[in-house]
Amino acid sequence: MAYDEDLAIRIRELLAGESDITERRMFGGLAFLMGGHMSVAASAQGGLMVRIHPEDTDALLAKPHARPFEMRGRELQGWLRVDPEGLRTKRQLAPWVTRGVAYARSLPAKR
């Protein structure tokens, strides 16, 4: 399954005013990197992958349509998956994109 191109367009629109954003195909999806760090991605499995501060994981999992991000059967702290049902409107999508970009921006830039 390819990533949701409409979701990628909507993410681009939200990031239009940001500097230092790059796009990269990763894991079958389209990742948006800030300073070389992945912030959010239109996932090949559907929905959005969001990078967050690991300490915020449990609190954010209480949000509607958010679930743990799993890789090879293991949950990764600091990453969430948001189901497509929770991203239908700009009002739903924008806070996740803002959170992912803010966390990626807080990390030291990669060389």
Mean pLDDT rounded to a whole number for the chain: 92
CB 87 within 8 A of CB 14: no
User: Which residue is listed with tokens 């367009």?
Assistant: 9
pLDDT at 73 > cutoff 90 = no
The residue extents of the domains of the chain are 5-106
Could you tell me whether strands 29-34 and 48-51 are parallel, antiparallel, or unpaired per DSSP bridges? unpaired
User: Which residue is listed with tokens 């969001």?
Assistant: 50
Cβ-proximal residues to 82 (8 Å cutoff; 6+ apart), any chain: 47, 48, 50, 65, 66, 67, 96
Q: What is the pLDDT of residues 23-38, one digit of tens each?
A: 999 888 999 999 899 9
Q: What is the CATH number of domain 5-106?
A: 3.90.1150.30
Look up residue 31 and give its DSSP letter.
E
Closest CA to 43 of 29, 31, 33, 32: 29
Q: Provide the pLDDT confidence category of residue 1 given band limits of 50, 70 and 90.
A: low
